[in-house]
Structure 1
Amino acid sequence: MDILVTVVLPLSLAVIMFSLGVGLVPADFRRVAERGWVFAIGALCQLALIPLVAYLVIMIFGLSGAIAAGVMLLALCPGGVTSNVVSRLAGGDVALSVSLTALISLISIVTVPLLVGWSVRHFMGESAPDFSVTSLALAMVLITALPVAIGMGVRALAPDFANRAEPGLLKLASALFVLIILAAIASNWDLFVENFASLGPALATLNIVTMLGGLMIAAALGLTRAEQKTISIEVGIQNGTLGITLAPIIAGVASGIPTIGLPSAIYGVVMYLTATPFVLWLRRRAS
């Protein structure tokens, strides 16, 4: 189990982020400037709407301690490669989805350590683990930003190879996502069973409210249907693998997945149950 926490989890997340980088080109970042208004809406929804809804969900469902801090950790994580795949399935703006994922992943290197530090102290009080915000930020650079940069470098130096490898890498990333979720649940099976009845509805509410909220905000501000779908999915689909991977670093453990990572693991299950019918409904909406 020590190997799972110290090696397998970080390496798996790095592979997932590398697969994101292989699909990126400089034009994806130029879109941020060219479509500034759209990106501003998406970024604000991800950086403000999700944590706000998560905090309200914690209060409404009476969550506390490490579980509450874990919900906030999940809410502060950016969308991952999964959101890009789901956006494609929903008929959204895939280029916008990829660019938003990349942009927010970079911003999260600053926002996640700072806000997680506050969340842990706020919800766990005296039992809060003593961890370094700087060390957490450095860990995020190593397991998110660096693999993305390497992936982009591979595409720039060997575009033909990147084009051939990208489909396989996306499949591998999806498989690793599922394996990380299953491993986290298995290592905390008793906690999973004990908390699913309360956490399941809370996380389903978080997922549904954020997806609907992102959709309504994008529609109210005049974005196209494809952009609305993408904003909704980027806001609603969180990178639970990042939450699970950061949890041991925050809790300072080297074996097993700590309680603070449990919401991210359960969310990986709940997300599919709630997002699937929502995506099917989005597909039926006019483009």
Structure 2
Amino acid sequence: MQASLLTNLLLPLALGVIMLGLGLGLTIDDFKRVARYPRAVLIGLFLQTGVLPWAAFALALLFKLPPELAVGLMLLAASPGGATANIYSHLAHGDVALNITLTAINSLLCLLTLPIILNLSLEYFLGAGQYVPPPVQKIVEVASIIVIPVALGMTIRHFATAFALRMEKPIRLLSVVVLVLLIGAAVAQSWTLLVAWFAAVGLACLLFNLVSMGTGYLAPLAIRLPKKQAIAIAMEIGIHNGTLAIFIALNVLQNAAMSVPAAIYSLLMFFTAAVFAFWASRRKGTQEPGSAPA
């Protein structure tokens, strides 16, 4: 997936506007609740760093992926969630404050975990380790797209509550429009790549996406977390920051083949997450009466 005006300027601006809109629906109390009940954060972090890399490793072996594609899948598994996960969680009526918290913590953790996972993958699949520096620049970019607009939206919510409440539905509609346009642009931009590589790695990427999202939803429910938090965790670990993985593959590893799994996954996750968000939003009572956040 090549850089373009869409990915370099228009998409970050659109995501920034949407994140501002999400901030209009959040208060400090939302984040205090997450801090008071840390189980959701801990399970999300555990699934992201302790389960998904092993799932990707197993799929790479199961499908006998070529070494470069196997490393690319591991790189994707090591990448945190991003702004798109927050948007889908918002549309599915998940706990957006939990999403933002997980994105922030995961982005910081990946400065340590991503180089470790990637170097081990290079050693195993290619037989030669390679120093991979922490992706500090891209993490700062993700933070600026997420944290600054959300903080601004929360500030507006604090001083102009009535306005913030009126904007909730328009922002939700804008989120849908942006995602539809993004899907269309991704398909058009990556069509040649998809046709050329889907047979080799497409099914592995699809299964990894379904495993990530399914585990992210079912594991929290198994330990009796509220459904809003289960939705948030499913989106957070099911929607990886494919842009970060592509950037590292192309600019750090300088290997275009390693960017293929992230490019294909980034397209597939739009559809699977949309189906999951529609299903979750149609279900009544995502937060059961009387259930306490955990």
TM-score w.r.t. length of structure 1: 0.74
Q: Residue by residue, what CA displacement relative to the aligned partner does 1:231-279 show, whole Å, maximum 9, x if unpaired?
A: 663455415xx423773476349xxxx6464134322345158737975
Query: Does residue 77 of the first structure (1) align with residue 77 of the second (2)?
Result: no
Give the whole-Å Cα distance in 2 for the aligned partners of 1:25 and 1:6.
30
Give the whole-Å Cα distance in 1 for the aligned partners of 2:143 and 2:236.
22
Alignment correspondent of 2:160: 158
1:54 Cα deviation after fit:
2.8
CA shift in 2, pair 1:13/1:172, >3 Å? same
Query: Does residue 50 of the first structure (1) align with residue 23 of the second (2)?
Result: no
Percent identity, aligned pairs only, is 25
Alignment correspondent of 1:148: 150
8 Å CA contact 1:84–1:98 kept in 2: the answer is: yes
* Structure 2: runs of 5+ lacking an equivalent: 253-258, 289-294
1:27 Cα deviation after fit:
0.9
Query: Does residue 33 of the first structure (1) align with residue 31 of the second (2)?
Result: no
8 Å CA contact 2:197–2:260 kept in 1: the answer is: no
Q: Residue by residue, what CA displacement relative to the aligned partner does 1:180-231 show, whole Å, maximum 9, x if unpaired?
A: 233233222211112223443223322332344344433443445x367436
Q: Is 209-218 or 133-142 further displaced after alignment?
A: 209-218
Matched to 1:98, the amino acid is V
Matched to 1:145, the amino acid is V
8 Å CA contact 1:41–1:218 kept in 2: the answer is: yes
C-alpha RMSD of matched pairs (Å) = 3.9
Matched to 2:79, the amino acid is L
Alignment correspondent of 1:23: 25
Matched to 1:73, the amino acid is L
Alignment correspondent of 1:195: 197
Task: Map 1:75-154 to 2 at 5 A.
Answer: 76-78=79-81, 79-86=85-92, 88=93, 94=94, 97-118=95-116, 121=119, 133-154=135-156
Give the whole-Å Cα distance in 2 for the aligned partners of 1:222 and 1:81.
24
Q: Residue by residue, what CA displacement relative to the aligned partner does 1:135-159 show, whole Å, maximum 9, x if unpaired?
A: 2222222222222222222222322
TM-score w.r.t. length of structure 2: 0.73
* Structure 1: runs of 5+ lacking an equivalent: 89-93
Matched to 1:238, the amino acid is I
Alignment correspondent of 2:231: 230
Give the whole-Å Cα distance in 2 for the aligned partners of 1:12 and 1:74.
26
CA shift in 2, pair 1:152/1:69, >3 Å? farther
Alignment correspondent of 2:182: 180
Give the whole-Å Cα distance in 2 for the aligned partners of 1:81 and 1:4.
18
